[in-house]
Amino acid sequence: MSTMSDDRLVHLRKCHLFTDAPEESLAGLARASSVQTVERGAQIFATGDEADGLRIVLSGQVRIWIADREGRELTLVFAEPGDPFGEIALLDGLPRSASATALEPTRCLFLPVRAMANALEADTALARHLIECLCEILRRNVSTISGFAFSSLDTRLARGLYDLALDNAEIADGQARFTRRYSQSDLAQLLGATREAVNKRLRALEHDGLLARDGQMLILPDLPGLAKRAEIERDLGV
């Protein structure tokens, strides 16, 4: 195997979707894969596009989102390095159900749909992992719907900040310092709220000592307190 394929094999092994995949399956996927470079703000695919394959974030960050006919947008998830995205269309063969946009200069490992289909047919463990990944998406969506239906914006904002901090902040001594900038618009799109409403709730969190700022970066001074505000202790799953 070439050095380039070896590098792609390393990237595949780092993705949780391929944790237990046999060497033969991974080697075949590595040979069929390619690295894509995406500029900040570029759309990787759009809702309604034909599924062309699976992507794994190597560096950067990708926003997965949907929009209504009036142009209002809702962020479903931020894909971080190591995260796969575009899984759903691989199984049902239907057009993309969401859009994907690079939030910063991003590199992705691209696995063509035919290569993935062949690997899934030959490897039941890989197919099972993909199903588990889809179940994770379903659970996340159920949690999001539950939040919209039963939780206040204050609670949802606290939960959103807490979850973002787990992947995008330096955590120590009960506080988190974000390493990525999130604007009020980013948070509003994540929560399905207006920018003005989010701004008001951010000020309330600052007043309560649960949020601070260092320039454009957010700081969560009291993670346990934020978790309590987010009612995370009640989130038992289904």
Q: In this structure, what CATH number is given to the domain that contains residue 162? A: 1.10.10.10
- Other CB atoms within a 10 A radius of the CB of residue 21 amount to 19
* 159 and 129 fall within a common domain: no
Q: What per-residue confidence (pLDDT) applies to 4?
A: 65
The type of residue at 35 is V
* 127 and 199 fall within a common domain: no
The torsion angles phi and psi of 227, rounded to 5 degrees, stand at: -60, -40
Q: Which residues share a beta bridge with 97?
A: none
d(CA 137, CA 88): 9
Q: Flag whether 211 is in a domain.
A: yes
Expressed in angstroms, the distance from the first to the final Cα of the chain is: 44
Q: What is the CATH number of the domain that holds 114?
A: 2.60.120.10
Q: Flag whether 59 is in a domain.
A: yes
How many domains does the structure of the chain reveal? 2
Q: What per-residue confidence (pLDDT) applies to 32?
A: 93
* 37 and 118 fall within a common domain: yes
HEC assignment per residue over 154-202: HHHHHHHHHHHHHHHEEEECCEEEECCCCCHHHHHHHHCCCHHHHHHHH
* 128 and 180 fall within a common domain: no
* 73 and 177 fall within a common domain: no
Q: Flag whether 100 is in a domain.
A: yes
Position 236 confidence tier, pLDDT thresholds 50, 70, 90: very low
Q: Please, is 200 exposed, middle or buried when counting C-beta atoms within 10 Å of its C-beta (0-12, 13-18, 19+)?
A: middle
Could you tell me the two tokens for 165?
């901090």
The type of residue at 206 is E
Task: Tell me the pLDDT tens digit for each residue of 68-95.
Answer: 999 899 999 999 999 999 988 777 888 9
Q: What pTM does this model have?
A: 0.83
* Chosen domain end from 111, 130, 146: 146
Mean pLDDT of 103-109: 97
Q: Flag whether 93 is in a domain.
A: yes
Q: What per-residue confidence (pLDDT) applies to 170?
A: 96
Q: Flag whether 236 is in a domain.
A: no
* 98 and 215 fall within a common domain: no
* 29 and 116 fall within a common domain: yes
* 195 and 91 fall within a common domain: no
Task: Tell me the pLDDT tens digit for each residue of 8-38.
Answer: 999 998 888 887 778 888 888 999 999 999 9
Kindly give the interhelix angle for 3-14 and 23-32, rounded to the nearest 10 degrees. 120
* 158 and 60 fall within a common domain: no
* 12 and 91 fall within a common domain: yes
Q: Flag whether 163 is in a domain.
A: yes
* 14 and 90 fall within a common domain: yes
Q: Which domain holds residue 203?
A: 151-230
* Chosen domain end from 103, 129, 146: 146
Position 59 confidence tier, pLDDT thresholds 50, 70, 90: very high
* 18 and 117 fall within a common domain: yes
235 pLDDT above the threshold of 70 = no
Q: Flag whether 167 is in a domain.
A: yes
* Chosen domain end from 112, 146, 180: 146
What are the Cα distances from residue 31, in Å, to 1, 6, 45, 90, 109? 8, 9, 23, 19, 11
Q: Flag whether 235 is in a domain.
A: no
Position 149 confidence tier, pLDDT thresholds 50, 70, 90: confident
